[in-house]
Amino acid sequence: MCGIVAYVGHQNCESILLSALSHLEYRGYDSAGMAFILKNQQLVRLRAKGNLFNLSDKLLKFQMMSSSPIHAQIGIAHTRWATHGEANEMNAHPHVDNEGRIAVVQNGIVHNYLAIKSRLSPKVKFESHTDTEVIAHLIAFYQNEKGLDITNAIRNTINDLEGDLALAILSVNAPNEIFVYSRNTPLIIGKCSDGYWCASDLVALNACEKYMRLPNDTLAKISAEKLARETQITEAKWEAKWHRMPVLNIQKQGYDSYMLKEVFEQPKIIANIARWDEAKVKGWKKGIKSVQLIAAGSSWHAALIGQYVLEKKARLTTRVWVASEYVKANPPLSACSLTLAISQSGETADVLNAVKWERKRRKEQNCLYQCPIIAITNRKESTLAQYVNEIWPMNVGVEMAVAATKSFVATLMMLYKLAGIKTEELLPLASEVEHVLRTESTRMREMAEQVIKFPLCIFMGRGLLWPIAMEASLKLTEVANLASLAYAAGEMKHGYLALLSQETLVICLSCADHQVEEIEARGASVMRLDLEGEQIHVAIKTLVCLQMLSYYAAKLKGLDVDRPRHLAKSVTVF
């Protein structure tokens, strides 16, 4: 959701920070800002609502008004997705203390910010309605009222904060250092030849040569020359594990959007996963009697298909949970039951919460209940990867569009492989999807021209096509901002007929003729999508068609297909 970037080194930081923020746009944001320290130790803060162009424009105006070149070589920056306080410039990060000597950016939520705000009032003047602003004022309080140095002021502040969060802090009292802290929220340190970086997402660090994840509950400081642990808030082992920076393909490569590019990458992804060595996944069922899948959003729809194939092909009793409901449901523990968590980002708050809870309660049981927890994720460096016994990486490259496309297909393919479906059954699907992309694009555009005319669109399917209908409905809602629902075709008579009218469009996915006739008899319009082939193939081919349908509907409405309004790529808060 929110994105953090920090840089300290030997180059001017302003353009570096802006460029890094541009790589975080895919996470979703409503405002952005930066702060940097000049050579004269003045702290400068710039913020803007809306697109990064607005922040860039403010920076340009500041540069033009300056009597001399800026030459700032240390700074922090942020893209905000509103949680506390509306989306405006006043609530944008960084936040500063009343003297303008401390600047803070945060990703996460401070649950007790109102109590801290009350404690600091009336001596402190608050300018925003955010939880983050109290952090800057609290650090200043410990410095000014308690006489602490900047390091101990930050340490005491962190101890007062409740909630999962990540911080980057600038202070004119330490003009060559950035303080960084992480509590159950990712922060990644990057190292390059001319300094150090810090970011909430690896994508922002593509200029670095090496990276490492900041250990949990650790306050560290970075300077142009080094990374140092300032203090461990809890007594955990500090170990700097540096990894070589992977090559990240984050260009559109001639496509008009990331979403379209990622849709067209799917045949190659299908072929790659289809060729997985069966030995890779052969042993996972040993000693396992049942499976529970935990996921959210599009991953939950993929899990529903996973349930179908795991029960039908692998003959394993399988249950699917929406991650946000799992802890509340408190399902009984099952012996010899594998937990499979699915999250593209590996940072989905509800999935992490469910996995942490499951780990804790299984640890207290005997060995029959201590079955592995495995994650399907696209981010090997993610928080989820730290919580599980094993990860099965998607390896599909960065998914830059907010709407899941290639990660959804990758998840389905991995679940197919886990269910025991052989390479020779899956490999032809790659060329079939390539054929669909080549031959069905025009029809999907023509369908989209009709879809956007209706105030309500209903998708119907059965078998594997019911979860596909759910995913298609979500895509149309996300990307094209259209009201959409999805139902199992056999449930039509159980209440859903009441929605049918001349203003309703029903898209039938391989539905029976008599169902189509019943819909038309009630005045609703019908579109059919009937593709041929094996059921597991038809599910993915149908999905790809409907991804294109959503894309074209959004384009026809003049919407930004990569960044739908109000949505974030990675839902990192509850």
What is the DSSP secondary-structure string of 209-235? Answer: SEEEEPPTTEEEEE-SS-EEEEEESS-
Instruction: Please tell me what DSSP assigns to residue 168.
Output: E
Q: Known catalytic residue: 457?
A: no
Instruction: Please tell me what DSSP assigns to residue 343.
Output: E
What b-and-e string marks burial along 261-299, b requiring 16 or more CB atoms within 10 Å of the CB? Answer: bbbbbbbebbbebbebeeeeeeebbeeeebbbbbbbbbb
What is the DSSP secondary-structure string of 482-532? Answer: --EEEEEGGGTTTTGGGG-STTEEEEEES--HHHHHHHHHTT-EEEEE---
Q: What is the dihedral of CA 331, 332, 335, 340, to 10 degrees?
A: 10
What the block records as the tokens of 406 is 């290639």
Q: At what angle do helices 428-439 and 441-451 cross, to 10 degrees?
A: 60
Q: Which of 407, 412, 436, 434 is nearest to 546 (CA)?
A: 436
What the block records as the tokens of 135 is 């952090």
What the block records as the tokens of 416 is 């197919």
| One-letter amino acid for residue 202 of the chain | L
Place of tokens 């009350």: 118
Q: Are 297 and 404 in contact (CB under 8 A)?
A: yes
Task: Please tell me whether the peptide bond between 175 and the residue prior to it is cis, using omega within 30 degrees of 0.
Answer: no
Across 114-203, where does the E strand assignment appear?
A: 165-171, 178-183, 188-192, 195-199
Q: Which of 109, 571, 28, 29 is nearest to 323 (CA)?
A: 571
Q: How far apart are CA 30 and CA 326, in angstroms?
A: 30
Beta-bridged to residue 181, according to DSSP, are 167, 219
Cα-to-chain-centroid distance, residue 226: 30
Q: How far apart are CA 375 and CA 361, in angstroms?
A: 18
Q: How far apart are CA 61 and CA 73, in angstroms?
A: 19
What the block records as the tokens of 322 is 């929406």
Candidates 2, 198, 208, 508; catalytic one: 2
What is the DSSP secondary-structure string of 103-136? Answer: EEEEEE--TTHHHHHHHHTTTS---SS-STHHHH
Q: How far apart are CA 172 and CA 43, in angstroms?
A: 7
Q: Known catalytic residue: 475?
A: no
Q: Are 399 and 407 in contact (CB under 8 A)?
A: yes
Q: How far apart are CA 228 and CA 219, in angstroms?
A: 9
Q: How far apart are CA 567 and CA 320, in angstroms?
A: 24
Q: How far apart are CA 202 and CA 214, in angstroms?
A: 12
What is the DSSP secondary-structure string of 407-431? Answer: HHHHHHHHHHHHTT--HHHHTHHHH
Candidates 191, 541, 555, 569; catalytic one: 569
- What are the residue numbers of the active site? 2, 569
